[in-house]
Amino acid sequence: MTDRRCDVAIIGGGLAGCSAAIYLARQGARVVLLEAKNYPHHKVCGEVLSPECGVLLDGLGLTEWLGQRQPAAIDTVEITSPSGAHWEARLPGTALGISRYALDHALAEQAACHGVDLQTETTVTGVQGTLEDSLRLTTRSPAGSSAITARVVIGAYGKHSRLDHTLNRAFTRQPQPFVGLKAHFDGPRLPCRIELHTFPGGYCGLSEIENGKINACLLVQNDVFRQAGSIPAFLAWMQQQNPRLAAWFASARLISDRWYSISQIPFVDKTVVDRDVLMTGDAAGLIAPLAGNGMAMALRGAHLAAEHAISFLRHERTAADLRRQYAADWQREFRLRLRLGRLLQAFLLRPQPLALGLHLVKAMPPLGHFFIHNTRDTHLR
Ligand SMILES: Cc1cc2nc3c(=O)[nH]c(=O)nc-3n(C[C@H](O)[C@H](O)[C@H](O)COP(=O)(O)OP(=O)(O)OC[C@H]3O[C@@H](n4cnc5c(N)ncnc54)[C@H](O)[C@@H]3O)c2cc1C
C-alpha cells in the first residue's frame, strides 16, 4: 500500500470539492482531490444555478467558460398544483441553466490546472486520526488500495455515501424517505423560466440548460415511488396527477440514455465537523431542491471550509478553534435557509395545503418574496 502526504485531502470532486480545491491551491496548499467516478458524469440535479452563483463561479475563474457554453438564462419561477392553482414570481436576478455533466467537469479541470492532485476513480473508504496528529485516509481505486496522510480533511462527498456509515454519522440512523430522478429532453421550450409542477408526494422541475435541451428533475417520497413499482409506471402515474406535466411530456422526447436516479436523500440535520473531517456542500447539509440553492451553498460552503483550513495550516488557530469556529460559521450562514427550505417542501408535497398556499402568496406578494429571498444569499450579486 502506497502512502502519500499533503496539506489538505478533499473527499469528493463535485462542486464543493472542486471549488474548495481551487481556493486552497491558490493559497499555496498541497491538495489531493479524490473523486469516486470519472469525468464527465451525470448527476441528479435540477441544474439551475441560482443568481449568486455567477459571482462565486467568477471567483473560480469560470466566467469565460460559462459564456462559451451558453447556459440558459432563467429569471422566473412558476409553481403549479394538481388542481390548477399556480403562482409565478421573478427571481432576485438571473439564474443559469447548465448541465452538471459539463459544469463539474470544467471545475475539475480548473482544479487540475491549479496544481491540485486530482485522483479519479478513487473512493475514500475510511478516515482515521485527529486534527492534532494529522488524519489518514484509506482509498480504493482500480490500481489497488492506498493511503494518504493530510493535516486537514474536507468531506465534500455529497448527500449520502457509504462513507457516512463507515464514519457512523448520526444522521444515517434517521429515515431518508426521498428518491430523485433526472433526464434530459428535447421538448417544448421554456424561455427564461423554471416550472415546478407538483403531484401528491413530490414535484418535478422543468427548465432549459445549454443547447436548448430541457432538464426534467423530480423529487418524490419513497413510498409513493414504490407504489408504482417501476420508473416508467411511476412517470406515467405522475403525469396523470398534474395536467401541466401531462401536456409537457406528451410533446417531449427523451435524449438522455436513461433516467438517472438516487435514493435515500437526507433532508435532516447533519454534524458539520464529524470525526475531525470538515464537512461541506451536501455532506454538511442538503437544502430542499425547490429552493434551487444547493449548488450556491456548495460553492460558498467550500470557500468557507477552505478559509478555515488555511488559517489552521498557518497556525493562526488551534484544532479546537477550527472545529468550533468552522461549525459555528457554517450554521450561521446556512441554518435558516435549510429550515425554511424544509418547511416549504413539506407544503409542496401536499396538494391541498399547497393550493391554498399558492392563492395566499398570489394575494400577498411580499410573502412569496420573503421565501425566495430567505432561501438564498441575496447579497452575493
Ligand atoms: C432532485 C434534486 C434537484 C436539485 N436541483 C438543484 C438545482 O436546480 N439547483 C441547485 O442549486 N441545487 C440543486 N440540487 C442540490 C445540488 O445538486 C447539490 O446541493 C450539489 O450537487 C451539492 O454539491 P456537492 O459537491 O456537495 O455534492 P455532489 O455534487 O453530489 O458531489 C459529491 C461527489 O463526491 C463523490 N463521492 C461520494 N462518495 C465518495 C467517496 N467515498 N470517495 C470519493 N468520492 C466520493 C461523488 O461521486 C460526487 O461526485 C438538487 C438536489 C436534488 C436531490
CB environment 261-280: b (16+ within 10 A), e (fewer): ebeebbbbebebbbbbbbbb
pLDDT score of 214: 98
The whole-angstrom separation of Cα 295 and Cα 246 is 29
Kindly state the DSSP code that residue 349 receives in the 8-state scheme: T
| CATH topology classification for 2-175+265-374 | FAD/NAD(P)-binding domain (3.50.50)
Name the residue at shortest CA distance from atom 5 of ligand 1.
46
Counting atoms of ligand 1 from 1, which one is nearest the CA of 41?
Answer: 49
> Which atom of ligand 1 sits closest to the CA of residue 218?
1
Does residue 341 have its Cβ closer than 6 Å to ligand 1? no
Kindly give the residue spans of alpha helices, DSSP state H, lying in 70-195.
100-113, 162-166
Residue whose CA lies nearest to ligand 1 atom number 41 = 124
**Angle value at C-alpha 318, between 317 and 324, nearest 5 degrees:** 90
Q: How far is CA 100 from CA 209, 210, 265, in A?
A: 10, 11, 18
Whether 284 lines ligand 1, by a CB cut-off of 6 Å, is no
| Residue 359: per-residue pLDDT | 82
User: What is the model's pLDDT at position 155?
Assistant: 98
Ligand 1 pocket, residue 124 CB under 6 Å: yes
Ligand 1 center–CA 120 separation, angstroms: 16
160 CA to centre of ligand 1 in angstroms: 9
Spatial separation of the C-alpha atoms in residues 149 and 128, rounded to whole Å: 10
Q: Measured from the CB, is residue 137 less than 6 Å from ligand 1?
A: no
Ligand 1 centroid distance, CA of 367 (Å): 29
Provide the strand spans (E) within the chain: 2-11, 31-34, 48-49, 72-80, 86-97, 117-119, 123-130, 134-141, 144-155, 178-186, 193-199, 202-208, 214-221, 253-254, 260-262, 273-274, 277-279
CA of 283 to the centre of ligand 1 (A): 9
Q: Please tell me the distance from the alpha carbon of residue 216 to that of residue 181, in angstroms, as a whole number.
A: 8
Residue 292 CA to chain centroid, in angstroms?
A: 9
CA–centroid distance, 172 to ligand 1, in Å, is 17
pLDDT at site 173: 94
Q: What are phi and psi of 204, to 5 degrees?
A: -125, 125
Mutate to test the pocket of ligand 1, among 15, 203, 262 (most ligand atoms within 8 A of CB): 15
Report the C-alpha gap between 75 and 89 in whole angstroms.
9
Given phi > 0 = left and psi -120 to 50 = alpha, else beta, which region is 158? Answer: left
Burial profile 50-60: b = 16 or more Cβ within 10 angstroms, e = fewer: bbbbbbbbebb
**Are 128 and 135 spatial neighbours (Cβ–Cβ below 8 Å)?**
yes
Q: What is the structure's pLDDT at 2? A: 64
Residue 230: CA count within 13 A, CB half-sphere:
3
Whose grid coordinates read 446556512? 334
Which among 87, 156, 101 is positioned nearest to 127, based on CA atoms?
156
- Collect contacts of 234-240 with beta carbons under 8 A, ≥24 apart: 235/259, 238/199, 238/202, 238/204
Pocket lining: 45 vs ligand 1, CB cutoff 6 Å: yes
Question: Is 33 near ligand 1, meaning CB less than 6 Å away?
Answer: no
Q: Ligand 1 atom closest to Cα of 207? A: 8
Q: Are strands 144-155 and 134-141 parallel, antiparallel or unpaired?
A: antiparallel
Q: What is the full per-residue pLDDT of the chain (381 aa) written as tens digits?
A: 567 899 999 999 999 999 999 999 999 999 999 999 999 999 999 999 999 999 999 999 999 999 999 999 999 999 999 999 999 999 989 999 999 999 999 999 999 999 999 999 999 999 999 999 999 999 999 999 999 999 999 999 999 999 999 999 999 999 889 999 999 999 999 999 999 999 999 999 999 999 999 999 999 999 999 999 999 999 999 999 999 999 999 999 999 999 999 999 999 999 999 999 999 999 999 999 998 999 999 999 999 999 999 999 999 999 999 999 999 999 999 999 999 999 989 988 988 888 888 888 888 888 777 777 777 665 555
Q: Are strands 123-130 and 117-119 parallel, antiparallel or unpaired?
A: unpaired
At residue 363, the pLDDT reads: 81
